[in-house]
Structure 1
Amino acid sequence: MRFWMVGLLLWAATLQGVNMAQPEEAPNFQTTAEIERRGKKIVVVKTGPDNPPALIELRDLFGGTLTALDPEKRTLWLGEKLFTTDALTRYWHGEKPIRFEELQVGQQVRLEAAEQSDGSLKAFDVRVGAQAEGKALVRSLFADPPPFRVQISFGENARAYGAIARVEQIREVNDFVILTGGTARYIEEEDRLELNLKPEPRAVEVQQGRSKAWGSRLDYDNQSGEARVAGPIELERQGDKPLKGAAERMVYNVDEEVLHLLGRVRLQQEGRTTTAERAVVQEKDRVAFLYGTKDKPVRSENKDGFVEGSRLLYNLDSGDVVVLEGVKGEFQEP
């Protein structure tokens, strides 16, 4: 069963945390999915043409123990509920795909299903060992081949871009967004959009103010308000004194509107190199706080010498640094 987003805008607007709408001032239709967190809107937008199409899947969620299986009819039971399957049904054990024949009575499963016109329940996704959290799921699938990119707006001050996005909204439980690189293929005979996720360097771009950062995959959890970006992380900031940086991973906090750089942080600007274990980039204040440990303090050096400390204030515009805790330094004689 396929649902085009265009036809479900009014229905989806009634769901908690879901609003599918066409921007009033947009010259062309743009398919969107919307999540709200503490008054801020997280909006996922397909910017390119409707090829491949953006799709929405509406699923009821069921969980429990398999009580019976019929390999000939390819049906299964959870308690007294009967579920049919077909070529669209996918089976998983953890993240590993399996076949219907590998299912066993007594296994704990999570089912995504939908009621058919004849009243029967059709299973689309069967996951062994998983628990059903919530009663219903809305899954939005987006793909924008180059030169277009799917866009995510985190409130008004930050945006992220990538080729593939998957939005999963579990009603009354939580909302999730995955953004990464890859390709998509619409399989007409199966009425399905097949996403091929391909996390790789620079697959995801995050923009905030003058700062741009790249990573391989972004995972947003609406309950925590954090967008976690897997590395390698590259950072650039425009200005009179351009800055370049790197880290192992990154987190954007929607509530605080700050970037957290984590693991082997390195900032380079105007001949100065600064290293730390983590950094908090406050773009709106044009500063960053860098943190180290006793064994690996923050270190900032240029041709004239170095300073070290456990906490350091970094001016993003000028590259000037101030050691706030545990200061130590060494400079060459003029």
Structure 2
Amino acid sequence: MSRHIQTLPQRALLLVLLAGPGWATAQDSAPVDPPPPPADTLDWDDEGWDEIKQWAEETEDLGQDTTATPEAGSEYSELQLVRQGDDGKERRIGVVRKGTDETGIFVFCNPQEQDGENAPGLAVFSNSGPEGVEISIDKNVIQVPLAVVTQTRRADGTSGDGNIEASAGTAAYVENIPEGAEDRLTRCGVQVDAKNVPGSVRVTQGQTQLTGQSLRYSETDGVARVTGPITFKRIPSAEQSGTTELSGTAEGIEVEVDTERTLLVGDVVLNSSGGRVSRAARVEYDDQSNLARLIGTPEQPAVSERGKERLQAAEILYDLERDEAVAWASEGVRITGEFVDEEAAAP
């Protein structure tokens, strides 16, 4: 079930949040057959509404339309955060809920008078179904039961891309709002019960599936952090039969939106079905390119071993498809290795 607080319509919603470089749009529709009639016209008093309409017309055809057609009996709610990078590029973070009244809710809370004109807008997504709430960040699709999105306003009056907190948990409507309630969500008529449960955050990047227990995205640095313990597995497609499978662990995942990089962080271990074991403090991971870049530190250099072979360096490039590792280091950095010819070593 979806609820929109204050002046929001119940169906066929196109909402523009907080005018500025960090625009975000939310779409919410309940499918019916035949299609529903157009939404009632809103009585907007905002002096900037003409500028908002002009922006909507100018950007209507920008980018690919990723809006999915909801299944019969389900609801579809979407929110997009747009981050303006230092390189001038806009990168989008999408939050989508597809579900029924029984599996969860979607609520958008506008600031109320007592919150002040610069108070953030809040959006709550919950879905206890197998699809969960879907968050798309760079090459990663993240599924989670609960997500709370906060969109802030900068000091210059423009809007930021926002913050996201996602984990296990539930959200429900509050029918009787307590008198004198101070919490924003409670005053908005929604109760959120967030929990950190290992494995509840599911991340998919190509053929790689990872799990963690909570996600935090901050507009301050543009990094989404998934807390561990992290477990992951890469299973090649049927077309890649014979390709090495990969599994492993890490303490966390970092997705850098501005640089479009995904990193496994903290005591990363990669185990291949071909017998290779690789370890590093950090690993830049790109499933599509079949490449992992193991990044070491002076205290914990990158290491890759298979049988009697051992390679150690500041950085190691690991070909996931071929199960091969190559040392990579800056000038003056030492590389060590042991490579034993088993036939020559045999008595």
TM-score, normalised relative to structure 1: 0.72
Q: Which residue of 2 aligns with 1:183?
A: 170
Alignment of 1:300 with 2:298, yes or no, is no
Q: 2:15 aligns with which of 2, 12, 16?
A: 12
Q: Which residue of 2 aligns with 1:159?
A: 141
| 1:24-70 deviation digits (Å, cap 9, x = unpaired) | 651344111111124222111112113432111111xxxxxxxxxxx
Alignment of 1:201 with 2:194, yes or no, is no
In 2, distance between residues paired with 1:41 and 1:293? 32
Contact in 2 for aligned 1:257/1:282 (Cα 8 Å): no
Contact in 1 for aligned 2:105/2:171 (Cα 8 Å): no
Q: Which residue of 2 aligns with 1:331?
A: 339
| Cα pair distance change 1:323/1:39, threshold 3 Å | same
Alignment of 1:137 with 2:145, yes or no, is no
| Cα pair distance change 1:316/1:164, threshold 3 Å | same
In 2, distance between residues paired with 1:278 and 1:158? 18
Alignment of 1:255 with 2:255, yes or no, is no
In 1, distance between residues paired with 2:67 and 2:296? 48
Contact in 2 for aligned 1:203/1:214 (Cα 8 Å): yes
Alignment of 1:27 with 2:70, yes or no, is yes
**Greater per-residue strand proportion:** 1
Q: In the alignment, residue 314 of structure 2 is paired with which amino acid? A: S
Question: Any residues of structure 2 matched to 1:27-46 within 5 Å, and which?
Answer: 27-28=70-71, 29-37=75-83, 38-46=89-97
Task: List alignment gaps of at least 5 residues for structure 1.
Answer: 60-113, 116-120, 124-131
Match of 1:188, SS state, is coil
Q: How many residues align?
A: 264
Alignment of 1:272 with 2:245, yes or no, is no
TM-score, normalised relative to structure 2: 0.69
Q: Which residue of 2 aligns with 1:89?
A: none
Larger mean Cα displacement after TM superposition, 319-328 or 190-199 = 190-199
Deviation at 1:310, TM superposition (A): 1.5
Q: In the alignment, residue 224 of structure 1 is paired with which amino acid? A: D
| Cα pair distance change 1:201/1:153, threshold 3 Å | same
In 1, distance between residues paired with 2:67 and 2:297? 51
Larger mean Cα displacement after TM superposition, 319-328 or 185-194 = 185-194
| 1:191-211 deviation digits (Å, cap 9, x = unpaired) | 722111111211111222222
Q: In the alignment, residue 299 of structure 1 is paired with which amino acid? A: V
| 1:296-327 deviation digits (Å, cap 9, x = unpaired) | 22111122331111111111112200112322
Larger mean Cα displacement after TM superposition, 193-202 or 268-277 = 193-202
Residue identity over aligned pairs, in percent, reads 27
Match of 2:288, SS state, is helix
In 2, distance between residues paired with 1:203 and 1:143? 13
What's the RMSD between the two structures over aligned residues? Answer: 2.5
Q: In the alignment, residue 257 of structure 1 is paired with which amino acid? A: E
Contact in 1 for aligned 2:18/2:159 (Cα 8 Å): no
| Cα pair distance change 1:10/1:223, threshold 3 Å | farther
Alignment of 1:147 with 2:144, yes or no, is no
Task: List alignment gaps of at least 5 residues for structure 2.
Answer: 29-65, 84-88, 178-187, 237-242, 343-347
In 1, distance between residues paired with 2:297 and 2:212? 25
In 2, distance between residues paired with 1:173 and 1:8? 25
Larger mean Cα displacement after TM superposition, 14-23 or 195-204 = 14-23
